[in-house]
Amino acid sequence: MELRNLKTFQTAAEYLNFTKAAKILNFSQPTVTSQIRALEIEIKNPLFFRIGKQTYLTSQGEVMKRYVDQIFATLDEMNRELSKESRPASRLVIAASETFCTHYFPPIIRKFLHECPEVGIRLVSCYSKDVIAGIDSNDFDIGIISGTYRKSGITNIVIADHEDLVLIASKALHEKYPVSDILDKYPFIKYEIDGPFEQQMRHYIQEAGINSKKVIESSSLEAVKSAVMSDIGIGLISRNLVKKELAEKQLVEISLNKQPVQIKTSLIIAASKLSDNSTMRLISIIERDWNAIHDMAD
């Protein structure tokens, strides 16, 4: 059965008047009669009958009208939903750690807003566990985490294959004390984070035999770097954040002859949001530029 014939039948059945149906549908009356006749041939039963000047539905017509009304109600609902989904996002909420927010997103957002100036951006700094929770609850549109996240309905895109961690001390401490004394006497300044990054740090600390009696935790990698540069203690930090200071010998890498610690960085997003053009454009920029931004610190 063709939808156009069903629509003609629905209109004729509602008004029980072929002339009025033809006027509403902008058809000729013979066209309305022809389309309804085509349906009657398909179902091998009449849909209308006349008594005097009044038109009525047959029992088969009553059944067809009930189902046709349901069909077009469903189609209308589908079209409303599709219209809602195709409407571009007016604002995108991105969640990531402070490090990612500070060092990676400014150039990415600048480029995105140049291409999509009508879309607003909200950048939220939080731990990976909160990023994941926000993606699951639909509070965030895009999340960046250290490691990967696998769940039905969530798309995980690896945007960086590795992130090196490096154990650092200030130049002053390194020149004044042997490494064993630094490890023994000074606090270990630890980045307070959850998930794979935390697991990798803990593994590194155990493998390196670091057994500092004092641990200072900070939710900011910048604060970790600043504390180490102020001779407060040693710290384990992303190499990318201290490349300049290492090159200028303000900081010194403490090598304990261990394998480098590397973890992946992933973009996570609800699969249902991948149909939005603005969102896909932002993801494309992130995928394309993330490692280039990383390498700019070299």
pLDDT single digits (tens) 41-82: 999 999 999 998 899 999 999 999 999 999 999 998 888 777
Give the orientation angle of helix 3-15 with respect to helix 29-43, to 10 degrees: 110
Helices and strands: H and E segment counts in the chain: 13, 13
Domains of the chain: 3-86 (1.10.10.10), 91-160+265-295 (3.40.190.10), 164-262 (3.40.190.10)
> Which regions of the chain are under pLDDT 50?
297-298
- Which tokens sit at 205? 């600390």
Instruction: Region of 70 please: left (phi>0), alpha (psi -120 to 50) or beta.
Output: alpha
Check if the beta carbon of residue 125 is closer than 8 Å to that of residue 143: no
Pairing of strands 91-96, 120-125: parallel
Of 152, 161, 138, 172, the closest CA to residue 250 belongs to: 172
| HSE, side-chain direction, 13 A CA sphere, residue 27 | 21
- In angstroms, the first-to-last Cα distance of the chain is 66
Query: Rounded to an integer, what is the distance from CA 77 to the centroid of its chain?
Result: 26
Q: Answer yes or no: are the C-beta atoms of 203 and 261 closer than 8 Å.
A: yes
- Tell me, what's the pLDDT at 298? 45
Name which of 255, 244, 257, 282 is nearest 103 in CA terms. 244
Q: Note the pLDDT of residue 154.
A: 95
Single out the residue of 94, 91, 117, 104 nearest to residue 288, CA to CA.
104
Answering whether pTM is above 0.85, one says no
pLDDT at 296: 57
**Structure tokens belonging to residue 112:** 């995105």
Residue 184 is classified by DSSP as H
In terms of Cβ atoms closer than 10 Å to its own Cβ (0-12, 13-18, 19+), residue 214 is: exposed
Q: Which residues of 262-271 are buried (b: 16+ CB within 10 A; e: fewer)?
A: ebbbbbbbbe
The bridge status of strand 251-253 relative to strand 261-262 is unpaired
Side-chain-side CA neighbours of 66 within 13 Å: the count stands at 6
Q: Cα(182)–Cα(276) distance, rounded to whole angstroms? A: 53
What SS3 class is residue 278?
A: helix
The answer to whether the beta carbons of residues 280 and 267 sit under 8 Å apart is: no
User: pLDDT tens-digit profile of 159-169?
Assistant: 987 667 788 99
- Retrieve residue 161's tokens: 């294959």
